[in-house]
Amino acid sequence: MNKIMLIDDEQPILNALERLITRAGWQVSTFTDPLLALHCARSTTFSLVISDYRMATMNGAEFLNKLNKIQPDIYKVMLSGQAGEEGIISAINQAGIQHFLNKPWDSQQLLSLLEKGVSEFEHRQQEQVKLNKTTLSKQEVNAWYEEALEKDSPGITNVRRNSMGWIELDGV
């Protein structure tokens, strides 16, 4: 199941977001402390994060930039009523957010955004799995090469070695 991380230093905002998102069937983890959220992100994979911009210990752009280093594929949403143009630009440039929402938010828009964000996260994860499957180890490359040689020249890879490890040839 996809997990959503919510980070805001105002507990009433977190409560409202958590109610809305859990009623829609999502699993939610809430944090008022950005450092605690970063610690949790080291052991739990989240599909999407919604972060406030203005928080007491660090702003949302700084938080998302640090989170990006831990979970680079996470879909990042900034939520703020006080960020201003400079804050939004900072969040985009510094943290690479995918979406910005103003407080108060539109619930339907937020839920649609969750669907989109989780879908994009899953797509990136699937692409990463495909990439990992197409990257061969040295042993896999050698096995593939031997198989190709055998198809081209049967018996070419069947060699005898003497006790010293040298290749012995018949009839030479």
| Tens-level pLDDT at each residue, the chain (172 residues) | 789 999 999 999 999 999 999 999 999 999 999 999 999 999 999 999 999 988 888 888 899 999 999 999 999 998 887 656 676 776 676 777 888 888 889 999 999 999 999 999 998 888 877 776 666 677 777 777 777 777 777 777 777 778 887 777 665 5
C-alpha of 138 from chain center: 27
Q: pLDDT tens for residues 3-46? A: 999 999 999 999 999 999 999 999 999 999 999 999 999 999 99
- Residue reference for tokens 């690479």: 96
CATH 3.40.50.2300 fits 3-134, yes or no: yes
Residue 14 region by backbone torsions, left for phi larger than 0, else alpha for psi between -120 and 50, else beta: alpha
